Amino acid sequence: MKKLNIALLLAVLALAVYLSVLSPAAMQAVQGKFLSILAPFLRTGTAVQEQIGSMGKGLKTLDEVEADNRKLTEVNRVLLTTNNLLREIEAENNRLRLALEYRERSVFRLLAARVISRDASTWWNTVKINRGFEDGVETDQPVLTDLGLVGKTTTVTKSESIVVLITDETCRVAAKVEGTREQGILSGMRIQESGTSGELQLNFLTKNAALEAGKNVYTAGISNGVFPSGILIGKVKEFRTRPLDGQAIVEPAVDISQTEDVFVVVGAK
Amino acid sequence: MKAAVGALAACAGVFFAFLLQQALPPIHVLHGARFVLVPMILCYAAMVLPFPAMLLAACFTGLLSDLMYLNAVGGRVEIALGCSIVFFVIYGCIANGFRPAYLRGHWWPVIPLSVVCTWAFLFMQFAMISLRREGFVFDEAILWRSLAPGLLAGLFAPLLHAVVKPFAALIPENPWSTRSY
């Protein structure tokens, strides 16, 4: 081998070693800059992927459209009635609130975001959203929808962020089970079955918990944790007893493969 | 001149392969396996290009791959920047060893090289994240997700050769006509 080739090889390996000893924050900064450059291409790529994936899905027969229409009209009537009732209750609630001088209940400030890219990697479950530090997003902020928890932000660039989903094994959440005193650590599976909403594992439960299927699982909200308390994560699907603890298999409340609009919890109101 | 153009073409090919991979949905019948085209392109480039140009292409591929798949959660990075550079440089060196055969007109080694490189790349990623997490887990889905992209890359490799060869012939110092190496 020529001396020049050996020198080049050593230079490349030295570069690899230098990059590998950078701090995680520095690596994320480099990745952030790279993703900012790549964002327009990734958005186009995802749009194409969605077009390919949805090919033929939107086609329905006339009978199916009519059935859908009947069902939606019925749902619409129910919702209108409920809405009118709730409006009256809201007005009454406001009157009572004023009368009693109650403080407004502290709720979280939500920032609406759109999923711009679903990760095309084999081993990780992440999505990219169209909000970055310019919009007030920071690392480790919870991401949710009206149905429940989605994940948390990791790398944040100027106008995009990466969200690691709760279906990923690295996203760990302190969780509690409705109607019990059971608490544990919830995470995704190493491999999620393709084309499904995925499964989660709730570990470190007591062995004799014997949780029933269908019970809701919520975030437990530990101090200095990422996730506030009381966000719905999913429903218990199955309970297993292991040698040292109990494990519940949880079905996520949000089907992330179908979700397009999410909210980032950017702080308290 | 030819090497420089080749290296730039390889880098551009790798970049567009990343974008194409992003646009292609997972294959549900293969347990969610994805099209992974980048290692195949690097294998081909490593067989065609001289050593310094191959190093540049491998370095670029590794860096892009690490930046695309960097997963940093809770201040921990699973696969550090630079790991894929080392992988692609090692594999590029192996593929570059087949260059004399390629210059004699035997292009077919790119097929097994692409299969093995794609599978090895995905398996390396899986092994590294398994070491970082709670031990190894192995099931059918993992086998399919690492093996199927390799087999698909093997199917696409002849197509890549058929597309690239006419373009390469347009540039002076055609490697197909060169006998000295």
Domain ranges of chain A: 3-53, 107-269
Task: Give residue B180's pLDDT.
Answer: 42
Task: Give residue A268's pLDDT.
Answer: 65
Question: Which residue of A31, A52, A192 is in closest CB contact with B25?
Answer: A52
pLDDT in tens, B44-90: 999 988 899 999 999 999 999 998 888 888 778 888 888 999 999 99
DSSP H or E stretch at residue A234: strand A232-241
Task: Give residue B93's pLDDT.
Answer: 92
The answer for A 171-200 residues in CB contact with B (under 8 A) is: 171-172, 190-195
Q: Which residue in chain A is spatially nearest to B21 when comparing CA positions?
A: A120
The answer for B 111-150 residues in CB contact with A (under 8 A) is: 122, 125-126, 129-130, 133, 137, 139, 141-142, 145-146, 149
Q: What is the pTM of this model?
A: 0.77
Task: Give residue B177's pLDDT.
Answer: 47
Query: The CATH number of B2-170 is which of 3.40.50.2300, 3.40.718.10, 1.10.1760.20, 3.90.1300.10?
Result: 1.10.1760.20
Nearest Cα residue to A168 out of B129, B65, B146: B129
Higher pLDDT, A225 or A178: A178
Model confidence at A161: pLDDT above 80: yes
Question: Which residue of A24, A122, A195 is in closest CB contact with B77?
Answer: A24
| Weakest mean pLDDT among A111-115, A163-167, B53-57, B68-72 | B68-72
From residue A1, give the alpha-carbon distance in Å to each of A66, A219, B46: 74, 59, 16
The rounded distance, in Å, linking the Cα atoms of B35 and A209 is: 43
Range from A127-141, A254-268, B66-80, B132-146 that averages highest in pLDDT? A127-141
Answer yes or no: is the ipTM higher than 0.95: no
How large a percentage of chain B has pLDDT more than 70?
93
Residues of chain B with pLDDT under 70: 170-181
CATH number of A107-269: 2.40.10.340
